[in-house]
């Protein structure tokens, strides 16, 4: 059984670490803005165990003219639970949550491997891919709400 709810920043770190920062120091899992009161951390629980996370930050990207933008960061489903629809559930939860906050655009820097996942979830790309040192090729992607 899955449930999704808001969690605190610290709870996201083990999942970020095992999925997004494998073998790197735990400090690489701390994001600027994690502790801001406007930042939202989402946790997906499968059989009461935290199995997926995502973070939403109020962050204005100059690429967009929208006034109320959020950035999606740290989207991660534990390896053993990927491909079960959990990522879709987190995006659905995110969209409902942000609509409630009058957000008009959600954007992210998407890893190349996750690009197809975001496209399935209504995102599209803007501009050319770019490299993030130590992680690889990324696309700027956005979804209007």
Ligand X SMILES: CC(C)(COP(=O)(O)OP(=O)(O)OC[C@H]1O[C@@H](n2cnc3c(N)ncnc32)[C@H](O)[C@@H]1OP(=O)(O)O)[C@@H](O)C(=O)NCCC(=O)NCCS
Residue numbers of the site for ligand X (CB under 6 A)? 19-20, 75-77, 82-88, 110-111, 113-114, 116-117, 120
Question: C-beta of 112: minimal distance to ligand X in Å?
Answer: 9
Which is nearer to ligand X, 39 or 73 (by Cβ)?
A: 73
Query: For tokens 């998407």, what's the residue?
Result: 110
Question: C-beta of 4: minimal distance to ligand X in Å?
Answer: 12
Q: DSSP letter string over 96-138?
A: HHHHHTT--EEEEEEEGGGHHHHHHTT-EEEEEEEEETTTEEE
Alpha-carbon torsion (111, 113, 118, 123), positive or negative: positive
Question: C-beta of 115: minimal distance to ligand X in Å?
Answer: 8
Which is nearer to ligand X, 35 or 132 (by Cβ)?
A: 132
């Amino acid at each position: 059984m899955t449930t999704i709810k808001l969690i605190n920043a610290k709870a996201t770190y083990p999942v970020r670490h095992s999925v997004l920062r494998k073998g790197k120091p735990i400090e690489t899992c701390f994001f600027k803005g994690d502790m801001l009161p406007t930042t939202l951390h989402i946790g997906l629980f499968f059989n009461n165990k935290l199995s997926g996370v995502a973070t939403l930050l109020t962050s204005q990207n100059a690429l967009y003219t929208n006034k109320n933008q959020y950035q999606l960061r740290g989207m991660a489903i534990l390896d053993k639970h990927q491909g079960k629809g959990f990522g879709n559930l987190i995006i659905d939860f995110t969209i409902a949550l942000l609509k409630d906050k009058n957000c008009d655009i959600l954007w992210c820097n998407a890893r190349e491997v996750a690009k197809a996942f975001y496209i399935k979830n209504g995102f599209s790309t803007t501009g050319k891919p770019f490299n993030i040192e130590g992680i690889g090729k990324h696309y700027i992607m956005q979804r209007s709400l």
